Amino acid sequence: MKFKFMKIHQFYLPIIVCLGFILTSCSGVDKSDASYNRDPFENTNRQIYAFNDSVDTLILEPVVYGYNKAIPQSAKTAVANHVFWAGLPNTALNSGLQGKWENTALSSLHFSVNALTLGLINLVSEEEPPVSQDFGKTLSVYDVPEGPYVVLPILGGKTSRHAFGQVANMIVNPYSALEEKKAISQAVSMQPVLSTISWRAANFDIVNDIKYNSLDGYVRARSAYYQNRFGEMPSLSVQPSEADALFDDLDFEK
């Protein structure tokens, strides 16, 4: 079996190069000025956020607006199902690395059965679907520090660990084993575009709220990312969340 990584790399190569560039040449801010101590490269991050924002406004938002208007809800659900299904091999792999055998079995089962419909229709009548896992979460299980917050072109803001995990997920993508067949190869190349459109469509109002209704969109996006990611992290579920910490410190007397 011949493994080909180039399809994936061609799409992400500029992003990976940019990631390396950002991490080596970030302009930081004075610690007292950093609005968040996990974000030492805020100045550079804000510039990339502004670039991503422009790309979203000029390309993604109009495309997704049309997608939401033209495509019926059932078809959008099918696309979202397919994107979820396509991520299941990575979920199975990372669940195994995290020792979550039940999730490994469940995601393998869902992947195998739903392969009959390419994941477009969910044929497994399980009430709870497998929980998505990625390499960033696996690294957190092994106590790898989360690293500073970085905003990547197109991919958005993440911890360095999450960004590294995303690159690792692309490299060890189980689909690379199937790339000898042209149709599958093309389908694999479409995955990042499809998943981006599907995600943006599902979160259309939420992302627009961050863009247009916030006092500082960059800070709101970063805050939402950290809180949401914290809720998904297997190793952090026993620790208090940021909201718990806020209320623990709060003096309720008026």
Partner 1 sequence: MTVYSKLSVLLFSVCMLCGIFMNNAALASKTDNAVSLVNELLEEVSNIQKTEVSMEQRRAEFLKLIYAYFDITIIAKASTGPYWRAATSDEKEHYTKLISELIADVTSSQLGEIDNFSFDFQSSIPKGDKMVMVSGNLLVPNQSITKISVKWRVSTPNSDIAKIIDIEFENISMLVTQKQENIAIIRKNAGSFPALIEAIEGKLRK
Give me the residues that bind partner 1 (CB under 8 A), please. 33, 35-36, 68, 73, 76, 201-205, 209, 213-216, 219-220, 222-224, 227-228, 230-232, 241-244, 246-247, 250-252, 254
**Closest distance between partner 1 and the C-beta of residue 208, in Å?**
10
The per-residue DSSP string of 171-209 comes to: HT-GGGGGTTSHHHHHHHHHHHHHHHHHHHHHTHHHHHH
Q: Which is nearer to partner 1, 1 or 215 (CB)?
A: 215
Handedness of CA 18, 186, 75, 70 (dihedral sign): positive
Shorter beta-carbon distance to partner 1: residue 79 or 92: 79
Residue whose CB is less far from partner 1, 80 or 188: 80
Q: How far is the CB of 7 from partner 1 (least distance, A)?
A: 29
**CB of 225: closest distance to partner 1 in angstroms?**
9
Name the one residue in this structure whose structure tokens are 């993508």: 173
* Residue 7 or 220 with smaller CB distance to partner 1: 220
At a CB cut-off of 8 Å and minimum separation 6, what does 230 contact? 236, 241, 242
Q: How far is the CB of 35 from partner 1 (least distance, A)?
A: 4
Rounded to a whole number of angstroms, the distance between the first and last alpha carbons of the chain is: 69
CB atoms within 10 A of CB 40: 18
